[in-house]
Amino acid sequence: MTDPILKVRDVKVHFPIHKAKSWPWEKSPVLKAVDGVSFDLLEGETLGVVGESGCGKSTLARSIIGLVKATDGSIHWQNKELIGLSDKGMNEVRKDIQMIFQDPLASLNPRMTLGDIIAEPLRNYYPELGKDEVKTRVREMMNRVGLLPNVINRYPHEFSGGQCQRIGIARALIVKPKLVICDEPVSALDVSIQAQVINLLKELQKEIGLSLIFIAHDLSVVKHISDRVLVMYLGNEVETARGEPIYNDPRHPYTKALLSAVPIPDPKLEKSKKIQLLEGDLPSPISPPSGCVFRTRCPIADKSCAQQRPHPLDAGNEHYVSCPKAL
């Protein structure tokens, strides 16, 4: 088996909450956005990261690319530790790691033309390239992502959401990265455009040999693009599996609840299926439950779940579940 190009080990991203203290010895509260997540990513592989809003998916992604500083843990990119790396060193790494953001229009500079937006990474990382070479590469990338050459001088507000996302993809791929982190790239798009963008990413992945981290809150979206799936809840990993097992044989109660919410195209099956509703509200990441963070909403939890935080356990065939009762 080949070595992973990205190794994430027990990464934590904690944000101190600054507020007036009642007593000098009182500790400031801490928001635990990511609280110990580990995974490996192979070359050419796609990892899907799934969970409801507020579970720490985007924060985890931003910590990998250095937009958010990790509090603890280890992030190894091709045997180079990224945590603690200087801004200059991180800037060099970003040639190989690029990101596609959730809101396609908000991530584009409204004062720049399409051509300038796509060319910006080239000018930053390869200043030695001439204007003609930059323009040639921009036009080639536009053609790859399905953008017509006659729109090169238009501005972002003149494009649809799907077109803006294609611009974001072109900008991320123009420097030929080895890893692209997709932070819910299709959540703001309608279903037909979602399929187009996902198919485009799959085609480009085969063509260029990209590795992808694909973040979404919908397991049905992730299914069509991911080789492995990581399910997160309140900053913690709850289940990880390769391929179909997480859909055909989900073990963790939270994964089962997420899957039960996915609509089925067949009306009869959709009507007869049993939806597993989660009781209670999502706990605050400032004061998460002791032990298993999911226990306050878990249908199989008992008193022992509050005693110790569960760690991923091997369920066989590269399937890991953070719940001893679910094995």
State pLDDT tens for residues 199-221. 888 888 888 889 999 998 878 88
Measured CA to CA, the distance from residue 12 to residue 309 in angstroms comes to: 15
What is the pLDDT confidence band of residue 20, given thresholds at 50, 70 and 90? low
Query: pLDDT of 128-161, one tens digit each?
Result: 999 999 999 999 999 888 899 899 999 999 998 8
pTM of the model: 0.90
Going across the sheet that includes 46-50, the strands are 97-100, 179-183, 211-216, 46-50, 228-233, 236-242, 320-321, 313-314
The pLDDT assigned to 22 comes to: 64
The encoded tokens of residue 136 equal: 């040639």
DSSP string covering 11-65, please?
Answer: EEEEEE-----SSTTPPPPEEEEEEEEEEEE-TT-EEEEE--TTSSHHHHHHHHH
Predicted confidence at residue 228, as pLDDT, reads 93
Mean pLDDT, rounded, of the chain: 89
Backbone torsions φ then ψ of 49, nearest 5 degrees? -115, 120
pLDDT of the residue at 319: 93
The identity of residue 126, as a single letter, is Y
Res 21 pLDDT > 70: no
236-271: pLDDT as tens digits: 999 999 878 888 889 999 999 988 887 777 677 667
